[in-house]
Amino acid sequence: MPVDILALAAHRDDVEQTCAGTLLKMAERGHSTGILDLTRGEMGTRGSMEDRANEAADAARILQVSWRHALDIPDGRVENSWENRLKVARVLREQRPRVLILPYWEGRHPDHYTASILGYEAAFLSGLSKLPVEGSAHRPFKIIYASLYRDVRPTFVVDITDQFERRFESLMAYKSQFSDQHAGSGIFPAQQEIRARVESMARFYGALGGVAYAEPFVQKEVGLVDDVLALPVKSI
């Protein structure tokens, strides 16, 4: 069955870190959600590809995700190639999301910002009727960018106060990544620090929207308002 909202990310656990609360909230409202991981984690400092697959499945259950799949793009070598664009376009035609969530287009990890550009260009190609990919042409109506780890002012934030604990639980499903261990100890924070970091960021974006916890997003187009009396968030 098609999904209403599809989140695309370079690695398993990227979605859990940036927009999992939003996906869970939408699922609780009756919308079908999906996650497309571009890689399988074979280059990760911690854990194996098999570990990440099992953990991703556990996280998907916590988030009530309807569909999750990982492509075979090499980990650490996500490239915006014609071949990879066709792989993503094939998924978009199959799943037919109305909303596509992409990583923000700037970042420390090359896989992350490349995934953003790759996802956008694949979405454009997916709408071309003569594209040599099975399925009928389809483009998402809305593309939004999960901007949690970039120092940019979000276009909007989503209140995830009621979903925060399960959002955190979905991240902790990745035991191979976030349990204390020697491998990657200079890169990964200690487990006891993770909760504080995740919570402080969610509280910061929540404060921008006047709620306890929130996730930030950016959209490139101008928003349209029909009723200014219905605008949320107090000004003064």
- Tell me, what's the pLDDT at 93? 98
Count of H helices and E strands in the chain?
A: 8, 7
Domains of the chain listed by start with CATH number: 5-222 (3.40.50.10320)
Average pLDDT over residues 205-213: 97
Is a pLDDT exceeding 90 seen at residue 49?
no
| Residue count (the chain) | 236
Average pLDDT over residues 169-185: 75
Mean pLDDT (the chain) is 93
The tens digit of pLDDT for each residue in 185-201 reads 555 566 678 899 999 99
- Tell me, what's the pLDDT at 80? 97
- Tell me, what's the pLDDT at 184? 45
Average pLDDT over residues 133-159: 96
Q: State whether the Cα torsion 102-46-78-111 is positive or negative.
A: positive
pLDDT band at 181 (very low <50, low <70, confident <90, very high): low
User: Which stretches within the chain are classed as H helix?
Assistant: 14-18, 20-28, 49-62, 82-95, 110-126, 164-172, 175-178, 191-209
